[in-house]
Amino acid sequence: MKLLIRGGRVIDPANKFDGIADVLIVDGQIAAVEPDIDAAADEVFDAAGKLVVPGLIDMHVHLREPGQEAKEDFVSGSKAAAAGGFTTVATMPNTSPAVDNAALVRSMVKRAEDVGLVNIKIIGAVTKARKGQELAEMRDMIAAGAVAFSDDGSFDDNAKVFVNALDYLHDTGKVVICHEEETTLVAEGVMNEGKRSALLGLKGRPTVAEDIAVARDCLLAEYTGGRVHIAHISSARAVDIVREAKRRGVRVTAEVTPQHLTMTEDLVDPSDSCTKINPPLRTQADCDACLAGLIDGTIDAIVTDHSPHAPEEKDREYIYAPSGFPGLETSVGVLFTELYHAGKINLRTLISKMTAEPAKIFGLDAGTLSVGAAADVTVIDPDLLWTVDAEKFFTRGSHSPFVGRELRGKSIATIVGGKLLTLNR
């Protein structure tokens, strides 16, 4: 099977390539990337005026299997990923039960192979049942296919257990993904602590809770020589802490979401739980610091933290509704609209943070258009105007703060293993 993607602007950060070229795919692999390929193909995709990039990677999503399929499952989640241009996603282990053993990892790997439209990677729990008390059998989970470990949704506040985890994984190449909010400082908080929370009468989650947690984990990574990855960073001080740790040679990486780059606490409306997330939406200064960190390399990757919930769960008072909203289908549009078209970031940096860099952090065979690589490719129309409509979502989560927004930029084709995916709504 031969697929020829013709005449697009190919941006391949892993190979430092940016230019007009054709991409030839043969039997599921990249066969050539060069101008004016003269080859017969079973299918030709005209990409003139479009961007052709390695398949987008999102290493922080919640696909809710096992046990929470009313919110999302591998079928609906992988459809949402494909619709958003993502060819590889990694699902977090805060499920019911938590993904804390090899048998469960193996079953999820098999399930992903059977029903996933995209490549679904499995992240295992650091501790048993994510309780932060006893290490899970992480090496067994690695053998079963786990690509990283996290107790996401919870801060591992037992420093000794966390140190043991870093020591345990030291020679495996695997990373611990850290949810950074010091537990006692955020209890019952539902938004960023500050003037806005006081005005609305809502209990806050202060930035210092994140800063303390990030500082501790950077210090423990330095102490052990282990690898930590800061999940969904949102605080200006936390960005500074990571920047300084990197200067000292600490093995720390970080990620940021579109919402923490483009949205502030001013958007919080107590009558609409769409904006309730953890960590919460911060101030404009925090957004600006996250963007600066993304551009200067302090922050390595962009993730969505795709967190769908059943409609009846989000249709509650702000203080009772669960945190999170779906992001896979809106990420490209938001980033292109608010960052690229606003002149705040260049395309090569933006694409790198969604392809080559996350692949490098997690040791994935992905994020590149190198000849011989698996043909995971995303085609983006950078100027396509479209309106976010929850009725057209493939995810089961409908509560998004971007619903009704006109965005500029959208994935128009997703190719996984050389197969051009077709989604019917």
Domains of the chain, residue spans: 2-51+374-420, 55-362
The three-class DSSP label of residue 377 is strand
Domain 55-362 homologous superfamily, CATH: Metal-dependent hydrolases (3.20.20.140)
Highest CATH level, class, for 2-51+374-420: mainly beta
Which pTM value belongs to this model?
0.97
Q: Any bridge partners for residue 23, and if so which?
A: 5, 33
User: According to the model, what pLDDT value does residue 425 have?
Assistant: 65
Q: Residue 56 has what pLDDT?
A: 98
The whole-number pLDDT of residue 36 equals 95
Residue 262 CA to residue 64 CA, distance in Å, equals: 26
| 123 neighbors 65 (Cβ within 8 angstroms) | no
Smallest CA-to-CA distance from 124 within 112, 114, 113, 109 is with: 109
Spans of the chain, pLDDT less than 50: none
List the structure tokens of 311: 């409609």
pLDDT at residue 226, as a whole number: 97
How big is the chain, counted in residues?
Answer: 425
* pLDDT score recorded for residue 371: 98
pLDDT digits (tens, 9 = 90+) for 389-410: 999 999 999 999 999 999 999 9
Output the pLDDT for position 338.
98
Single-letter code of the amino acid located at 283: T
Active site residues: 305
* 3-state SS class at 273: helix
Phi, psi at residue 358, to the nearest 5°? Answer: -65, -35
pLDDT, residue 43, reads 95
Assess contact for 299 and 356: CB atoms under 8 A.
Answer: no
